[in-house]
Structure 1
Amino acid sequence: MDSIPISVQGLEKVHKELEELKKERPLVVQAIKEAREEGDLRENAGYDAAKERQGLLEAKINYLESRIPRFNVIDLDTLDGDVVTFGATVKLEDLDTGEEKTYTLLGPDESDVDRGIISVLSPVGQALLGKEEGDEVIVDAPRGKIEYEIISVTFKGSGTK
């Protein structure tokens, strides 16, 4: 059973999501009950929608509950150094285009590319791990190989999110 890295804040978010999903269970059960009372279930769109919602809800709850024991919780406030690890914020320059990008490396359950948060398990994350400022890395991306230079490596603690 592989461990999954996650920040303290990420774990809190997962627990909150799980709690919200569990609160929704009785509402879905009530919707199914009400739809059943409408009669013929073969042509009852409300019943079908409620059953589908129940299936999705239970699948998400089971998914989260199966992941929580595998989490390796890391306190971002304890991280520091010059080497790219979990929790690092890395500023990169694309050596072909000159474009600069900044990414914070967290766990897969915390990834949000729109906010510059990528998984340490992603191709970019994997390429960066263990590297330092000034190092060049090659990332296999869907558009081909991208060569980056690491401009800086910083640790912002829980202020990363």
Structure 2
Amino acid sequence: MSKITYLTEEGLQKLRKELEQLKTVERPAISRMIAEARDKGDLSENAEYDAAKEAQGMLELKISKLEDLIANARIIDESKIDTTQVQILNKVKLKNLKTNAVVEYTLVAESEANLKENKLSISTPIGKALIGKKVGDVVDVQVPSGLMKFEILGISL
């Protein structure tokens, strides 16, 4: 059984667009590569053919995973998001208690995470530690470099 993924409408559209690109552009391109390699003769010693078949296998796996993700996606109704405690799609303002640096992240599903846009996956150690916490709470987060302490300064949409 596949797990349910919570996405924004924008995130789901992005996944659908990527799937369409893979099916309509990438898949035919790899099929042409296989046909060209096959036309070159003996398949037992044809590295081009082997590479094209491997690329096809990887592409089909990616397509299958995207289809599964889209089939099990649930759209989050942003109008029903609570800001009294941290949950997915909240913007969370944090203060690193060691460095006093203040950062703000939006918690999103793993497929929408992008640190350049300050979108942090809820499946990261920081994301997991924040879920359910309230403003003023101090959160201990175990990361590969050690233990980090954050204070939650604000929760918004």
TM-score for the superposition, normalised by structure 1: 0.88
1:45-64 correspondence to structure 2 within 5 Å: 45-64=47-66
Identity among equivalent positions (%) equals 43
Q: Distance in 2 between matches of 1:81 and 1:99?
A: 22
Question: 1:73: how far off?
Answer: 1.2
Preserved contact between residue 8 and residue 76 of structure 1 (Cα < 8 Å) = no
Deviates more, 1:13-22 or 1:121-130: 121-130
1:74 lines up with 2:84 in the alignment: no
Question: 1:77: how far off?
Answer: 5.2
1:5-154 correspondence to structure 2 within 5 Å: 5-23=6-24, 24-76=26-78, 78-154=80-156
Alignment RMSD (CA, Å): 1.6
Moved over 6 A (4+): none
Question: 1:149: how far off?
Answer: 0.5
Structure with the bigger RCO (C-alpha within 8 Å, sep 6+) is 1
TM-score for the superposition, normalised by structure 2: 0.90
What residue in structure 2 maps to residue 158 of structure 1?
A: none
SS for the counterpart of 1:109 is: helix
Letter in 2 for 1:52: E
For residues 26-82 of structure 1, the C-alpha deviation after alignment (integer angstroms, 9 at most, x for no partner) is 221111001110112244332222112111110100111122222121133553523
**Unaligned residue ranges in structure 1 (runs of 5+):** 156-161
Q: Distance in 2 between matches of 1:41 and 1:76?
A: 54
**Unaligned residue ranges in structure 2 (runs of 5+):** none
Q: Distance in 1 between matches of 2:60 and 2:80?
A: 36
